[in-house]
């Protein structure tokens, strides 16, 4: 047998983070800095940044340094949360193989944006548990915000209203995610890193004032990072301005709005895009106050983008 390659037999590892195509790969209590062999993983043609925090990979260790390696293959994902990256014109996976997707929003500063949550819910695969977190409750909640959260609950999504600042309901959040791998995702400034610093002290994740970030369009957290904690772990991610939807046919979009389902059966046309069609059960439900008009507006906006964008 030849040992001339200078690398180990392939090991299995877990991607903790990736910056400029250098990935931190965790395996058996060590972390290796790895590149992708040949710059492109065969199964993942045309995908910008084909690896995300939480991905499982096969990699070989460079036997001379014993700290570096080459990623050979990405192993099958149990689930993933991805969006379309307009700048790169390609899908971008934000986190993979997660138990809980924590969609973080804030009661204010930056303003509560249910449309962002709607887009997250459309993109979240059925295999992912989504928890909606409304942070910064100490700022004060208006009635419409609370109503929206109750509306999500009726659709089958759980939510927690909390404050990293005062500690309100932080114990409940901790209870839900402990022992699990969770990914904290949301707009910049909603408090993802601050929440994680309260939930898991000791990692000193960087946090930053909202106003400066808004002015400069910068994010305090600048790359996704998986950190182990007890039997689980968490992924802190950089703020995202928008979730661009992709991979859904316009005819199927209605199936991703769970509260539409009980009404879409009665649409005269099947399939129905619930847009201009006569005798549409969904439009009737909106008119009768059974579907929130803002959810329907989210639906129409995404439908338009799917029809125009071609990112399907
Ligand atoms: N009033 C109030 N402010 C909070 C709360 N949680 C976080 N903040 C503040 O909000 C600002 C942004 O917090 P970060 O944790 O940096 O936000 P982030 O979501 O991680 O932002 P990015 O890393 O840019 O995506 C900081 O000034 C925090 O102190 C809260 O519960 N209440
Ligand atoms: Mg952050
Ligand atoms: Zn319809």
- Indicate if 96 and 203 belong to the same structural domain: yes
Is the residue at 241 inside a domain?
Answer: no
123 occurs within a structural domain: yes
Do both 108 and 208 map to the same domain?
Answer: yes
Helices (H), the chain: 114-123, 143-155, 170-177, 192-199, 210-216, 261-264, 281-287, 293-309
| pLDDT tens digits, 195-222 | 999 999 999 999 988 755 554 456 789 8
Retrieve residue 240's tokens: 């995202």
Q: What is the pLDDT of residue 2?
A: 42
- State the sign of the Cα–Cα–Cα–Cα dihedral 93, 94, 96, 98: negative
**Pair (264, 118) in one structural domain:** no
CATH number of the domain residue 45 falls in: 2.40.50.140
Confidence of residue 286 (pLDDT cuts 50, 70, 90): very high
User: How many C-beta atoms lie closer than 10 Å to residue 10's C-beta?
Assistant: 16
Structural domains in the chain (count):
3
Indicate the range of 32-46, 60-74, 170-184, 195-209 predicted with least confidence: 32-46
Q: Read off the DSSP letter of residue 122.
A: H
**Domain annotation covers residue 96:** yes
Last residue of a domain, one of 42, 59, 74: 74
182 and 299 part of one domain: no
For the chain, the average pLDDT equals 90
Q: DSSP character for 62?
A: B
Instruction: Kindly state whether residue 243 falls inside one of the protein's structural domains.
Output: no
Nearest one of 167, 158, 161 to 141, comparing CA atoms = 161
> Phi then psi for 251, rounded to 5 degrees?
-65, -25
β-pair partners for 262: none
Burial 147-183 (b: 16+ CB within 10 A, else e): ebbebbeeeebebbbbbbeeebbbeebeebbeebbbb
For position 94, what pLDDT does the model report? 92
Question: Does residue 159 sit in the same domain as residue 176?
Answer: yes
Distance CA 245, CA 251 (A): 14
Q: Give a yes or no: residue 3 inside a domain.
A: no
The preferred substitution site among 137, 207, 210 for testing ligand 1, maximizing ligand atoms within 8 Å of CB, is 207
Question: How do strand 80-85 and strand 68-74 relate by DSSP bridges?
Answer: unpaired
On whether residue 4 sits in a domain, the answer given is no
Identify the residues whose C-beta falls under 6 Å from ligand 1.
Answer: 135-136, 138-139, 163-165, 188-194, 207-210, 213, 219-221, 238-239
Ligand having the closest approach to the CA of 291: 3
Per DSSP bridges, beta strands 90-96 and 30-36 are unpaired
Q: Please report whether residue 226 resides in a domain.
A: yes
Cα 183 from Cα 26, distance rounded (Å): 17
* CATH (domain of 228): 3.40.50.300
Q: What is the distance of C-alpha 175 from the center of its chain?
A: 20
- Give yes or no: residues 269 and 157 share one domain: no
- Which residue CA neighbors atom 7 of ligand 1 most closely? 191
Do 147 and 198 have their domain in common? yes
Do 51 and 158 lie in one domain? The reply is no
Residue 2 lies in a domain: no
Looking from the CA of residue 206, the nearest atom of ligand 1 is 16
Q: What is the CATH number of the domain that holds 290?
A: 1.10.40.50
46 lies in the same domain as 145: no
| Domain enclosing residue 32, as ranges | 11-74
DSSP 5: T
Residues 85 and 187: their CA atoms lie apart, in Å, by 15
Of 236, 269, 295, which residue sits at a domain end?
236
Please tell me whether residues 115 and 61 are part of one structural domain: no
Of 169, 189, 200, 222, best ligand 1 pocket probe by most atoms within 8 Å of the beta carbon: 189
Q: Does one domain contain both 167 and 254?
A: no
Q: Do residues 66 and 145 both lie within one domain?
A: no
pLDDT in tens, 136-166: 999 999 999 999 999 999 999 999 999 999 9
- Write down which residue in 74, 105, 122 finishes a domain: 74
Is the pTM for the entire model greater than 0.85?
A: yes
């Amino acid at each position: 047998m030849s040992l001339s390659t200078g690398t180990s037999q392939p090991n299995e590892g877990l991607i903790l983070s990736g910056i400029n195509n250098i990935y931190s790969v965790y395996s058996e209590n060590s972390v290796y800095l790895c590149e992708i062999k040949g710059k492109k993983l065969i199964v993942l043609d045309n995908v910008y940044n084909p690896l995300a925090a939480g991905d499982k990979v096969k990699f070989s260790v460079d036997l001379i340094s014993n700290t570096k390696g080459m990623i050979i293959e990405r192993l099958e994902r149990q689930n993933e949360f991805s969006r379309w990256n307009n700048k790169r014109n390609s899908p971008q996976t934000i986190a993979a193989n997660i138990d809980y997707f924590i969609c973080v929003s804030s009661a204010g500063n930056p303003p509560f944006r249910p449309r962002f949550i709607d887009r997250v819910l459309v993109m979240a695969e059925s295999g992912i548990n989504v928890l909606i977190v409304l942070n910064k409750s100490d700022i004060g909640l208006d009635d419409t915000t609370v109503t929206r959260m109750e509306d999500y609950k009726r659709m089958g999504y759980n939510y927690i209203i909390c404050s990293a600042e005062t500690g309100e309901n932080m114990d409940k959040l901790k209870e839900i995610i402990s022992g699990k791998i969770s990914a904290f995702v949301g707009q910049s400034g909603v408090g993802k890193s601050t929440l994680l610093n309260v939930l898991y002290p000791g990692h000193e994740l960087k946090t930053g004032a909202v106003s400066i970030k808004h002015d400069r369009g910068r994010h305090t957290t600048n790359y996704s990072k998986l950190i182990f904690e007890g039997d689980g772990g968490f992924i802190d991610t950089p703020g995202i301005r928008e979730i661009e939807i992709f991979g859904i046919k316009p005819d199927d979009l209605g199936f991703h709005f769970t509260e539409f389902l009980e009404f879409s059966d009665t649409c005269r046309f099947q399939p129905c895009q619930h847009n201009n069609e006569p005798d549409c059960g969904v439009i009737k439900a909106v008119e009768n106050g059974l579907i929130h008009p803002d959810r329907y507006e989210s639906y129409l906006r995404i439908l338009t983008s799917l029809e125009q964008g071609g990112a399907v």
